[in-house]
Structure 1
């Protein structure tokens, strides 16, 4: 599984974690069923879940005229993955983390999601 696919699957799993009360390991097993769990996917899910409070604080401090509760679940999940990559994944270039997040927002969010995600993440790296 390439990293793009791992990010997409991580977004779907973390979205489910936001709704259901499961641990990350169980959520990955339930979602992927018989598929082998990719190490990068596992790192994204476990890392973003483990650092959720710190990640949310980073997002909150970089929002302009928004609260984290007002952000749609899809965009919030995408932002969490991107902030995790920006702050805890040294081998991922900033522009790659941001571009991947924007691409996921375009695919899974509404017409303004990509622009919103890009704006928040640009504030995070500034």
Structure 2
């Protein structure tokens, strides 16, 4: 599984975790069923889950005329993943994290999601 696919699956798992109160390992296993897990996927899901409050604070501090509560679940989940990558995963270039997040937003969000995600993430520093 490449990193792009792992991000997409991590998004889907984290989206479910935001709605259901499961443990990350259980959610990964249930989502993947017979498919083998990936260390990058597991790292994203567990990492975002472990520092979610810190990530939400970072996102909140970089919003203009928005509150975290007003952001749709799709965009919020994507922002959490990308913020985690930017702040906690030094081996991933910032522009890669932003581009991947915008792409996920364009696929799973509405027609303005990619632009919104790009705007928020461009204000977040490493």
Q: Under a length normalisation based on structure 2, what TM-score does the superposition of the two structures give?
A: 0.98
Give the number of aligned pairs: 126
- Consecutive unaligned residues in structure 2, runs of 5 or more: none
Q: Distance in 2 between matches of 1:29 and 1:54?
A: 26
The aligned residue for residue 28 of structure 2 is 28
- Consecutive unaligned residues in structure 1, runs of 5 or more: none
Offset, 1:49:
0.5
Q: Distance in 2 between matches of 1:125 and 1:52?
A: 17
Cα deviations across residues 52-81 of structure 1 (Å, max 9, x unaligned)?
000000000000000001000000000000
Offset, 1:125:
2.7
Q: Distance in 1 between matches of 2:35 and 2:69?
A: 33
1:92 paired with 2:95, answer no
The aligned residue for residue 55 of structure 2 is 55
The aligned residue for residue 43 of structure 1 is 43
